[in-house]
Amino acid sequence: MNKNRNCKTIKSEIELYKEKLNSAVKNEGISLVDKEVIELSQHLDELIVEYTKKCMKKTSGGD
């Protein structure tokens, strides 16, 4: 992960990956154990952890 990213950038990426994951899950031909869904979910988890560590302690209520 890039340590120089700011909170706004990370939050934007989280929103992007949430949209990608939602689109993948809505696809009727895809399973929740599909490789694409798992990879999107893992990356989203990493972004959320990074955001929490970097940004939540800076502001008590987040952005």
- The pTM assigned to this predicted structure is 0.71
pLDDT at 38 over 70: yes
The pLDDT of 39-43, averaged and rounded, is 91
pLDDT at 29 over 90: no
Name 25's Cβ contacts closer than 8 Å, sequence gap at least 6.
Answer: 32, 37
Per the CB < 8 A criterion, the answer to whether 25 and 37 are in contact is yes
In a domain, 1, yes or no: no
Which residues constitute the domain of residue 36? 7-56
In a domain, 2, yes or no: no
In a domain, 27, yes or no: yes
Q: How many domains does the chain have?
A: 1
In a domain, 43, yes or no: yes
Tell me what the pLDDT averaged over the chain comes to.
83
The pLDDT of 11-40, averaged and rounded, is 85
In a domain, 63, yes or no: no
63 band by pLDDT with thresholds 50, 70 and 90: very low
